[in-house]
Chain A
């Protein structure tokens, strides 16, 4: 069992035990995100694995030099996931197939109902109306709840930095581009237009239209249209999504429906415990001072108008 899944199972299991039931009444799979939200449609049938998108992301987000060059095919030997030094990575699948390998770009999918956001008790995450899920390093306490909660393994943790920012992930180039209506750097550089930028609602129509027009090219599914309540990044694929490393076991309900109960307890613990401790502290103090403390208190009460 992968560590992440184990932790997730603990979260969900713990919740069930703690409350004796799962509260399905919270489930809210209907939220469509912001109506004007932007997004990116990734057509894996167009991607040639050139990794220009990785290089563009690296420059745009001022990330450190890569471990190995952006044209080194050796990286395809392993499955990679986004890290604090690379907000996006391209992986290769189906390489034994006669039809040739399929490449898939991975990054934060910018969920309509982000599990990272709801799992964060200091509100470090924001879903902007443009569709981006952005992150405020100033308030992050580094608890890494978001890393456990994210169904797509997106947030990376900066182990090298003792100070902020701690969690790092794709922000859809929010500060430098999206805010001004411009496409993210990876989309702009892609030579194959494997990445299409636009309004999320339009992209969904476009994706289904591509499937309709060339059904032999695609499996009939747009990944991200419904998964975990929908995401701003959408994918088209020539073969089953499970063959391209996608988690096809995710439900259409937002992740939050599973973990809300537990997550709701986090702030409760944080807010109740200090009160509890100060209560005990006060009690002890009063006992130390004995009768005197109580007399003062009652005197004060008596003098109230």
Chain B
């Protein structure tokens, strides 16, 4: 098994934040920063400034959907979650699987005939799409890979970074 396989699977696991009881929600300790990509090998971990994002976004539901005490904004989500109570775990990994395409996950999906969220994203996809999507929309956040997490030495080798600028031999042979 080549070494990068685990790291991709394990990549981007989020630092745990769990709120133990719904009652404690309003005054639950909200982390000011969260370390992301802790187990990844190609990119170095980085500190997500949670406090700053709370300041600028204000609506928890923008990222946390219906899991926290704030109003559900997405009309599609509101159809079911308008009145649902906050969940015990609000961190991304509480719902978004780190291994969305593993045989086990796929089998569980197939077995659960009642499941509504068939197209629920994996952890890595959910976070990147959320971050990059919002940064693009707002227009003032970083969107490049290394803007958030610079590559490690292993990452540089993986992407053959030292060959940058080499003359690309384009494969159009016609």
Contacts and interface: CB of A to CB of B under 8 A. Distances in A.
Contacts of A11: none
A70 B101 contact: no
A189 B8 contact: yes
Interface string B71-113: 0000010000000000000000000000011110010011000
A69 B163 contact: yes
A69 B172 contact: no
A72 B165 contact: yes
Interface residues of B, number: 40
Interface stretch (A79-87, A251-259, A297-305): A79-87
Contact of A72 (B8, B121, B164): B164
A48 B165 CA distance: 21
Interface in A123-156: 156
Contact of B161 (A71, A79, A83, A89): A71
A89 B171 CA distance: 10
A83 B103 CA distance: 30
Nearest to A184: B101
Interface string B121-146: 11011101100100000000000010
A209 B119 contact: yes
Interface stretch (A193-201, A272-280, A284-292): A193-201
A227 to B, nearest CB: 21
B162 interface: yes
Interface string B141-170: 000010000000000001111111111111
25 contacts: A46-B125, A48-B132, A50-B145, A58-B160, A65-B163, A67-B166, A67-B169, A68-B166, A69-B163, A70-B160, A78-B172, A79-B172, A81-B171, A180-B103, A181-B103, A182-B103, A188-B101, A190-B125, A191-B125, A192-B129, A193-B100, A193-B129, A198-B106, A202-B109, A206-B118
Interface of A: 2-4, 46, 48, 50, 52, 55-56, 58-60, 65-72, 74-75, 78-83, 86, 89, 156, 180-183, 185, 187-193, 196-199, 202, 205-206, 209-210, 213
Interface of B: 2, 4-5, 8-9, 76, 100-103, 106, 109-110, 118-119, 121-122, 124-126, 128-129, 132, 145, 158-172, 174
